[in-house]
Amino acid sequence: MRTRQLELSGWGRTSPSAARLVVADADELDRTVLDELAEPRGIIARGMGRAYGDPAQNAGGAVVRLARGPIVLDPRAGTVHVGAGVSLDELLRHVVPRGFFVPVSPGTRFVTVGGAIASDIHGKNHHADGTFGAHVESMTILLADGTRRAITPASDPTLWWATVGGMGLTGIIVDATVKLLPIETSRCLVLTERVPNLDSLLERMETGDHLHRYSVAWVDMVATGAHLGRAVLTRGDHATYDELVAERPSAGDDPLAFAPAGLAAVPHGMPNVLNRLAVRAFNELWYRKAPSSHLGLESITGFFHPLDMVGDWNRLYGRGGFLQYQFVVPFEAVDTLRTIVATVAASGHASFLAVLKRFGPESGGLLSFPTPGWTLTLDLPAAVAGLGGLVGELDRMVLDAGGRHYLAKDATATPEIIRAGYPRLDEWLEIRRLVDPTGRWISDQARRLDLY
C-alpha cells in the first residue's frame, strides 16, 4: 500500500482539492486500515480520474485507488472476471484479440471497471444495449465495516441497484463478472453522413438508429439560422470477417489485431486555444470534410475513442479548465432540445465537443443517469465570463422538461437540481445510510449535493 498527499481534480480541472491518495490491493483494505483512512474526512474510491467534476475527490480525506487486479476470461460463457481497478484499455487489449468487446464503452478507454459500474456508464449503443451495469453479472463490494459482500442482481437487488450508478457511495467495488460481446474483427463498419440542420438530424436518428448497434452525432453548436444544429452523424456495427476482407483483403490474416494508436500529449501550461473563433473555424472544417454519405471500415480506437489518441487533451482548455455539461430530456421534450441548441449557439460560448445520442430504457440503478430521451453533451471553457448564467438557464430548461443531469460529468449542480432530476433519491439515501451509517464513504461531490 502506497500513500501520498496530492492535489486531485476531475478531468475538467475546475475544482482541485488536496487528499491522501492511497494505492492498494483490495486485500490490504481490512477494517483496521479503513478505520485509519476514514479519519478525519472519510474515504472515496477513484479510478483513472476521468469523471469531469469532483465525485472522485475528497478534500482533507482519503482517496483510494485499487491496484490493477485479475483479468480472467471465460470464452465459453462469454464473460470476464475482472478486478475493479482494471481499466477498459487493459481489458480491451486482453479480450479483443480473443474475439470479444466490452458490452458498453464510453468515449474513452481510460476508465476503470469499478468506475464504469459506479457511474453506470453509457455509450453509443444505449438505445440497443443499455448501460454497462445491465451487463454485470456479479460483483464484490467492500462495505463500510470492512467486510466484503458478493452480490448479484437476484441475491441482493437493493444493494445492487444502489451501487450501480451510486458514485462509489455504498462501498468500494472490488471485482466484477461482466458479460462480453462476441466480435469477429477489431474493425467497425461505419456509416458517416453530413446532416444540414438539427431537424434533419433528429429525423434521421429517430428513423434509422434501430438499424445499427451504435449511433452518435457531432453537433455544431456555433452554427445558427438555417444551419442550426448541423451535424455529422455516425452509425455503425462491428464488422464481420466477410465485410473486413471484402474491403481490406490483407486484414483477413489477423482480423482481431488491436494496437491502439497514440499521438503526442498536449504540454503543460497550454493556454486555452478553444475560443469561439477557433471553434467556429474547426467546426466549419470538420463539417465540410465529412462526406455527404460514406460507408467504410474504422478501427475500434477511431470509432469509439478518437480523443484517446491525444494525451492530456483536457489541457487544451488552459489552466481554467472546462465544464462537461450533459443532460437528458424525454423524447416528447424535443422542442426543449431545440431551444437549448439555439440558446447555446446564440450565447457566445463555444462548445468544441457537442455530442447527441438517443437513450433507451433505464437500467434500474436508483441514481443511474440514462432514461429514455435525447442526451446532449457540451464542453464549455470554464474561465469565460457569463458561463454561470448560461448553465443556470440550461438547468431550468432541462428540469422544466422533466430531464436530469449526469453525476459523472457534473461540476456545478445543486442539491435541488439533483433532487428534481432523480425521483428515487430518497430511496437511494435510505439504502446508503443503512450500509454506511457513519458516512465513511464520502466525496467532494457528495458533500456539495447532500448525497449522504
SS3 sequence of 114-135: HHHHHCCCCCCCHHHHCCHHHH
Question: Can you list the positions of beta strands (E) in 159-250?
Answer: 172-179, 181-182, 187-195, 214-219, 231-238
Q: Where are the beta strands (DSSP E) in 136-230?
A: 136-142, 148-151, 172-179, 181-182, 187-195, 214-219
- For the chain, give the mean pLDDT: 97
Least confident stretch, 42-56, 274-288, 414-428: 274-288
* Element containing residue 271 per DSSP (H, E): none
Rounded to whole angstroms, the Cα distance separating 46 from 392 reads 29
Cα 402 → chain centroid: 21
pLDDT at residue 297 in the model: 98
Q: How confident is the model at residue 261 (pLDDT cuts 50, 70, 90)?
A: confident
Residue pLDDT, tens place only, 297-350: 999 999 999 999 999 999 999 999 999 999 999 999 999 999 999 999 999 998
When pLDDT is averaged across residues 63-78 and rounded to a whole number, the result is 97
**pLDDT at residue 215, as a whole number:** 98
276, pLDDT greater than 90:
no
> What's the mean pLDDT in 383-390?
95
pLDDT band of 263, cuts 50, 70, 90: confident
C-alpha cell at 117: 459500474
Q: Where do the domains of the chain lie, and which CATH numbers do they carry?
A: 187-419 (3.30.70.2520)
| DSSP character string of 46-98 | -SSS-SSSSTT--TTSEEEEE----EEEETTTTEEEEETT-BHHHHHHHHGGG
CA trace torsion 112, 116, 117, 119 (10° rounding): 130
Q: Which of 186, 303, 296 is CA-nearest to residue 252? A: 186
* pLDDT over 90 at 131, yes or no: yes
Return all residues near 425 (Cβ < 8 A) that are at least 6 apart: 366, 367, 418, 419
Q: What integer pLDDT is reported at residue 323 of this predicted model? A: 97
Averaged pLDDT, 233-248: 97
- The residues that bridge with 136 in the sheet, in sequence order, are 178
Q: What is the pTM of this model?
A: 0.97
- 147 pLDDT exceeds 90? yes
Residue 262 has pLDDT above 90, yes or no: no
% of the chain exceeding 70 in pLDDT: 100
Helix (H, G, I), strand (E, B) or coil at 229: coil
pLDDT at 275 over 90: no
pLDDT digits over 93-128, tens only?
A: 999 999 999 999 999 999 999 999 999 999 999 999
| Res. 40 pLDDT band, cuts 50 70 90 | very high
DSSP assignment, residue 250? G
